[in-house]
Amino acid sequence: MLLNKYTQWDECSRIAPSADRMALGVQLNKELPGFMREIIRDIYPVDNDSFRDVINQKVMDLAFEMADLVDGDETSDESPVTQAFWDWCIAQDPQDFADF
């Protein structure tokens, strides 16, 4: 269980800033939502048949839901998108990270 918690912490820490960058990409390319979905899917696919799919879908969802909140001038650690992903990710069951 403790190993899963460490893995969860590492994965959440790694992906949270990426969610912010994906949201910034959506914000900067509002006129191309299909293109941005394709780009995000290339980086965060949802065909792994694992909990990683749930995480990757959350990145996609937050990128589109929170794109208007991204401020390219602030660091991703201060971003509401980074914080929203972190809060969601760290609240997941550590057991879900057993296969990472």
Predicted confidence at residue 85, as pLDDT, reads 97
Q: What pLDDT does 36 receive? A: 94
Distance of CA 62 to the CA centre of its chain: 7
**Helical spans, DSSP H, in 1-100:** 2-28, 33-43, 51-65, 80-90
- Give how many domains the chain has, as a whole number: 1
Each residue's pLDDT tens digit, 10-57 = 999 999 999 999 999 999 999 999 999 999 999 999 998 999 999 999
Q: pTM for the complete prediction?
A: 0.90
pLDDT bucket at 77, cuts 50 / 70 / 90: confident
What range defines the domain where residue 13 resides?
A: 2-97
User: What is the signed CA dihedral for 78, 83, 63, 68, rounded to 10 degrees?
Assistant: -50
